[in-house]
Amino acid sequence: MTNPTTKSRRHFEDLQIGETVALGPITISKADILAFATEFDPLPFHLDEKAARESLLGGLAASGWQTGALSLRMLADRFLSTIASMGSLGFTDLKWKRPLMKDDTLSGTASITALRRSSTHPDMGIVTIAFDMRNQNDQQVMTLNLANLVEIRDPSIGGSR
């Protein structure tokens, strides 16, 4: 039953509301934007600088899905790989507030805003993580609330949270 990958990691019982990890920074190049957009979001305003200037975005900008993917990578590196993560249930309130433009630097924070035990799986807890991603001018680029499953070390010990 023991999971060798996660047994020595922090479990649900070890997490606290208010914990915050710093994410990034990472600077996004034109090549990065084109590589992601070519595979997953081949719209003119993510692929072509002239089309981008004439679009609502006003210049070459990363796909919003790329901003999310980069943020997720930061969370995996700094947090999810240090806890007994069981994968994501989903998220709410993803807002792309500003585009991530060519040569922008993305960084931010991820904070635990809620912890509760699964009502259907006694060995699983759910951690809610709020992302606040910003550019180099401290302007918000993206926010979202991620719900992630975490192993409970000892399900026999009841907890109401």
Partner 1 sequence: MTRWFEEIELSTIYDLGSHTFTEAEIIRFATLYDPQYFHTDPDAARHSHFGGLVASGWHTVSVGHRLMVDRLTAEEDIVRTEGSEPGVAGPSPGVNRMNFSAPVRPGDTVRFTLSVTNKRKSNSIPGWGLLFNLIEAHNQHGNLVYSADLVSFSKLRDFRPTLRLRAAMALSRFPVFNKLMVRK
Specify the 3-state DSSP secondary structure of 50. helix
Under rule CB under 8 A, residue 54 binds partner 1: no
Q: Which of 23, 33, 80, 100 binds partner 1 (CB under 8 A)?
A: 80
Under rule CB under 8 A, residue 26 binds partner 1: no
Q: How far is the CB of 77 from partner 1 (least distance, A)?
A: 7
The answer to whether 116 and 126 are in contact (CB under 8 A) is: yes
Which residues contact residue 96 at a Cβ distance below 8 angstroms, ignoring those fewer than 6 apart?
A: 64, 67, 141, 142
Under rule CB under 8 A, residue 89 binds partner 1: yes
Q: Is the peptide bond before 155 cis (omega within 30 degrees of 0)?
A: no
Under rule CB under 8 A, residue 81 binds partner 1: yes
CA 13 to centroid of chain Cα atoms: 22
Site for partner 1 in 94-123 (CB under 8 A): 94-99, 123
Rounded CA gap, 29 and 17, in Å? 35
Rounded CA gap, 102 and 36, in Å? 13
Rounded CA gap, 143 and 111, in Å? 11
Binding mask 120-159 for partner 1 (x = CB under 8 A): ---xx-------------------x------x--------
Strands ordered across the beta sheet of 20-27: 20-27, 105-117, 124-134, 140-151
Q: Which is nearer to partner 1, 4 or 18 (CB)?
A: 4
Under rule CB under 8 A, residue 82 binds partner 1: no
Q: How far is the CB of 42 from partner 1 (least distance, A)?
A: 6
Which stretches of the chain bind partner 1, using CB under 8 A?
2-6, 39-43, 45, 55-58, 63-65, 68-70, 72-73, 76-77, 80-81, 85-99, 123-124, 144, 151
